[in-house]
Copies of this chain bind each other. A is one copy, B any other.
Amino acid sequence: MHPLRTYIQRFVPLTDAEWAALETSLQPRKLARKAHFARIGEPASDIALVVSGACRLYYVRPDGEEITTYFFFENHLMASYSSCLSGQPSRLALEPTELLVFPYARLRQLYDEFPVYERFGRLLAEYHLLGTDERMTELLLLSPEQRYQTLLASTKTKIMARIPQRYVASYLGITPVSLSRIRARMATESS
């Protein structure tokens, strides 16, 4: 089974005809280690399934600091709703990455043509909303150290281990220096 079809069918069932309507719009694409999937400042109007590798979505603060807000790993959809509409964030390949790309505009067409895709779109948005809501709540409720411990205890641990910790730090809302101190503190206290 095609990996994208597998992904979609975790939300809705697809007939062969419905799947074919999307499959014809897919474009394979490879990104080198630090190549950009979308340029900074330009609207990111494409969606991609990450076939292999990893990407991160980041903002650039006025002082030049990069703040990573999302990671994308194998067999997950890489998309930025806010970017598809307002176009501010930017994406970067972290490891050498293989993608399957299709325009967000194509998905909107499918919303009109097939009710099943409209439902997929709803479930996808709801799924991402749940994740972002939980993430936001964690930022409001927990201390930086608690957030790091939560991350360690989650299922994302293994894939996060592949990522430079400076990126994980901004994902947690702290500086790399602070994350390093938290790790040192935890290592001391547990011994």
- Which A residues are within 8 Å of any B CB, using their own CB? 59, 61, 67, 69, 81-82, 85, 111, 115, 118-119, 121-122, 125-126, 128-130, 132-137, 139-141, 170-171, 173
Contacts and interface: CB of A to CB of B under 8 A. Distances in A.
Contacts of A133: 81-82, 132
A122 B132 contact: no
A67 to B, nearest CB: 5
Contacts of A67: 140-141
Given A119-B111, A137-B59, A128 B129 contact: yes
12 contacts: A61-B141, A81-B130, A82-B130, A125-B125, A129-B129, A132-B133, A135-B136, A136-B139, A139-B139, A139-B173, A140-B171, A140-B173
B141 A59 contact: yes
A141 B170 CA distance: 9
Nearest to A115: B115
Nearest to A86: B130
Contacts of A61: 141
Contacts of A170: 140
Contacts of A115: 115, 118
A81 B140 contact: no
Contacts of A136: 69, 132, 135-136, 139
Interface centre among A59, A85, A133 (most CB of B within 10 A): A133
Contacts of A125: 122, 125-126, 129
Contact of A126 (B81, B130, B135, B171): B81
A136 B9 CA distance: 29
B126 A118 contact: no
A82 B138 CA distance: 13
